[in-house]
Every structure is written in structure tokens, then in C-alpha cells.
């Protein structure tokens, strides 16, 4: 990070904070809609230098145990990056740090080349355009597929108020587009509780997509899916590459192979740091990796 970049970042942050302080007043929504609009102004993340996410020497201790130990990692704008590693390697903790759920003891995390995520709350980080998919799907089981997406699009939890108001044309188009992407177009009216496990996972991914996140974090997204669902999920993620940056944590090597197609980079985490990085075939042939992970 060069000093002029840092300075530009500080200026942006100050402008952002100023705007934020002025928000929430004189708006019917009490600021909720305003927060969504913030994604589109010039105080958001800066991807002009090609960086989507940048972690530097991030350390997290739990009672003296280092779940992350000086972790450094960089993901390009529009890249689809797979993260693998044995249980306890720190993969979920890394996502917790990026999303503001856990505060690191040391290190820095940047979204784009200038936006310092450690200065922001979990809610602000989501509003800045980082969407996270947890392992377990959390959809509104009693609502339809369409209603679930509609709620996510409005970013508002007042279910009845949202469902009574109308979508505009652009919003309708976006929901349609997402329904197609997640393979649930013909299930739009179906009660979400009746979907298969894989379909619920897709719906939850769709609920993130309608908010158009710049960066998507996906923690073991195909756990419990059938082979066919897994394959479709790989296709879905590949179709998102470029428009979004994606970080996918995954155990299923077959899925990682489908995602990387012999040309995308894989990062191997072990004991809270990067053990290896490269093409899947390269890291699978790396002795250290075989020892700690693949050879088990
Ligand atoms: P992974 O997702 O790669 O399996 P995690 O990030 O969940 O690994 O965990 C990394 C290590 O940190 C593990 O040893 C885990 O037991 C520990 N850990 C994670 N969260 C906590 C916590 N809240 N308190 C104490 N230890 C934790
Ligand atoms: Mg985990």
C-alpha cells in the first residue's frame, strides 16, 4: 500500500463518515433505505487497483490459542478464490474477521484498496457490499421463494410492510434475473419450507445476490447437497465471477476442482496461516499440504 493510496483512503473514509452522520435524519425509513443507496456512491470501496480484499498479518487469539496467526491474503476484483484447509485451520474465523463478527488482535483488512474494514461494524460492512453465506440455510420457511427474495431486496425486516408495498420495474427485473440464476424460476410461488436442502441453499444465495454484493463469502456452500446440486452450484458461482468477487471455503475437492477448472488459484490454510497457494494440482502435489491435509 503506497502512502498516496493510504491518504486517498483516509479522505474517502472521512467523507463516508460525514455522509453517514448525516443519514438517518429526515427520511421516512429512518435511514434504512439511505444505507442501501450508499453502495452506489463514490465513498464505497475502490476497486480501481484490481484488489477486492486484502488481509495483512491478521491474528486472532482465543484464550491464548491463535486461530489466525499473521494471516496475509489478497483476492483480486472479480476473482473466484477457493480456500481449503483441514478442520480448525481458521477458515471460518477468517470470514468472521472480514465481516466484522470477530475483531482481530492485530493486522489489517482492506475492502478494495482503501477501505479499512476494521473501522466498521458488522452492519456497516454488510452495507458496504460484503455478503456472507453461512453453512446452515436461514430462509423464511413460511414465505414463498419470491417473498424471501423480495424481503432481502428491500433489506427490511418489517415483513408485512414490505409485502404490501410494490416493487418497481428494475427491482422486478433483478428478482427475475436472480430467480433464473439460482434455478428457482419455476418455484417462485412455492413455500420455502418445502424446498430441498440444496434449493434452500440457493435461495439464501439468491437473497444475498439481490443486494448485489461486491464480495461474496461462502462457507462450505455445498455441504449436504446431492452431486447434481453441487454441480449446479459450481455453475452458478462460475457465472457470478467477474460481476462479483467470491471467496469460497470448501472441503469437497471435487467441487473445488469444478470451480477452479485447472486454472483458478486455491489457497490452503493451516494453523491460522497460508500454507500454500496455487493451482489445485500444484497444492495437491505440495508435500506440506499432503502431510497436513490431503494425506489424512
Ligand atoms: P475452520 O473453519 O477452518 O474449521 P475455525 O476458524 O472454525 O476453523 O476454527 C479455528 C480454530 O479456532 C479452531 O481450533 C477452533 O476450535 C478455534 N475457535 C474458533 N472460534 C472459537 C471461539 N469462539 N472460541 C475459542 N476457540 C475458537
Ligand atoms: Mg469452518
| pLDDT at residue 86, rounded to an integer | 92
| pLDDT at residue 136, rounded to an integer | 73
Q: Which residues of 257-284 are buried (b: 16+ CB within 10 A; e: fewer)?
A: bbbbeeebbbbbbbebbbbbbeebeebb
Is 99 inside a domain boundary?
yes
Is 16 inside a domain boundary?
no
* C-alpha span between 290 and 283 (Å, rounded): 8
Tens-place pLDDT, residues 29-84 = 333 334 443 443 446 899 999 999 999 999 999 999 999 999 999 999 999 999 99
| E-only strand ranges, the chain | 51-62, 65-76, 80-84, 106-111, 115-116, 130-133, 215-219, 245-249, 265-270, 273-279
Instruction: Report which protein residue has its CA nearest ligand 1's atom 5.
Output: 90
155 CB within 6 A, ligand 1: no
Is 129 inside a domain boundary?
yes
* C-alpha span between 240 and 246 (Å, rounded): 8
Q: Which ligand is nearest to the CA of 69?
A: 1
CATH number assigned to the domain comprising residue 250: 3.40.50.300
Is 127 inside a domain boundary?
yes
Q: Counting atoms of ligand 1 from 1, which one is nearest the CA of 87?
A: 4
Instruction: Report which protein residue has its CA nearest ligand 1's atom 24.
Output: 62
* C-alpha span between 294 and 6 (Å, rounded): 40
Using the mean position of ligand 2's atoms as its centre, give its distance from the Cα of residue 84 in Å.
Answer: 10
Q: Counting atoms of ligand 1 from 1, which one is nearest the CA of 94?
A: 6
pLDDT beyond 80 at 233? yes
DSSP 57-122: EEEEEETTEEEEEEEEEEEETT-EEEEE--TTSSHHHHHHHHTTSS--SEEEEEETTTEEGGGS-H
Q: Give me the number of domains the chain comprises.
A: 1
Determine the residue of 60, 66, 91, 93 to mutate for testing ligand 1's pocket, defined as the one with the most ligand atoms within 8 A of the Cβ atom.
93
Determine the residue of 61, 62, 71, 86 to mutate for testing ligand 1's pocket, defined as the one with the most ligand atoms within 8 A of the Cβ atom.
62
Is 188 inside a domain boundary?
yes
Of 67-71, 79-83, 107-111, 249-253, the one with minimum mean pLDDT is 249-253
- Residue 220 C-alpha cell reads as 462450505
85 CB within 6 A, ligand 1: yes
Is 29 inside a domain boundary?
no
Of 40-49, 117-126, 137-146, the one with minimum mean pLDDT is 40-49
* C-alpha span between 108 and 119 (Å, rounded): 10
Find the domain containing 57 and state its range: 45-294
Q: Which has the higher per-residue pLDDT, 293 or 87?
A: 87
Is 131 inside a domain boundary?
yes
Using the mean position of ligand 2's atoms as its centre, give its distance from the Cα of residue 221 in Å.
Answer: 11
pTM for the model stands at 0.83
Amino acid at each position: 500500500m503506497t502512502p498516496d493510496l493510504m491518504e486517498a483512503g483516509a479522505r474517502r473514509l472521512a467523507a463516508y463518515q460525514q455522509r453517514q452522520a448525516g443519514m438517518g435524519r429526515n427520511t421516512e425509513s429512518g435511514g434504512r433505505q439511505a444505507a442501501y443507496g450508499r453502495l452506489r456512491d463514490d465513498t464505497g470501496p475502490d476497486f480501481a487497483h484490481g484488489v477486492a480484499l486484502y488481509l495483512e498479518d491478521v491474528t486472532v487469539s482465543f484464550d491464548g490459542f491463535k486461530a489466525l496467526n499473521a494471516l496475509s491474503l489478497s483476492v483480486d476484483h472479480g476473482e473466484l478464490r477457493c480456500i481449503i484447509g483441514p478442520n480448525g485451520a481458521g477458515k471460518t474465523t477468517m470470514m468472521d474477521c472480514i465481516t466484522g463478527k470477530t475483531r482481530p488482535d492485530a493486522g489489517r483488512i482492506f475492502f478494495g484498496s482503501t477501505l479499512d474494514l476494521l473501522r466498521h461494524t458488522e452492519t456497516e460492512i454488510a452495507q458496504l457490499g460484503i455478503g456472507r453465506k453461512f453453512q446452515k440455510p436461514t430462509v423464511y420457511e413460511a414465505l414463498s421463494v419470491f417473498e424471501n427474495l423480495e424481503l432481502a431486496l428491500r433489506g427490511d425486516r418489517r415483513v408485512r410492510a414490505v409485502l404490501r408495498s410494490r416493487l418497481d420495474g428494475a427491482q422486478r427485473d433483478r428478482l427475475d434475473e436472480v430467480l433464473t440464476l439460482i434455478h428457482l424460476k419455476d418455484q417462485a410461488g412455492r413455500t420455502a419450507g418445502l424446498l430441498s436442502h440444496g434449493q434452500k441453499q440457493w435461495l439464501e444465495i439468491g437473497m444475498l445476490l439481490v443486494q448485489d454484493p461486491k464480495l461474496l463469502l461462502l462457507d462450505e456452500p455445498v455441504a449436504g447437497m446431492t452431486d447434481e446440486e453441487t454441480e449446479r452450484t459450481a455453475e452458478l458461482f462460475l457465472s457470478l465471477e467477474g460481476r462479483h468477487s467470491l471467496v469460497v471455503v470448501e472441503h469437497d475437492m471435487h467441487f473445488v476442482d469444478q470451480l477452479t477448472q485447472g486454472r483458478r488459484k486455491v489457497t490452503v490454510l493451516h494453523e491460522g496461516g497460508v500454507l500454500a497457494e496455487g493451482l489445485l494440482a500444484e497444492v495437491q502435489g505440495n508435500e506440506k499440504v499432503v502431510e497436513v491435509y490431503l494425506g489424512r
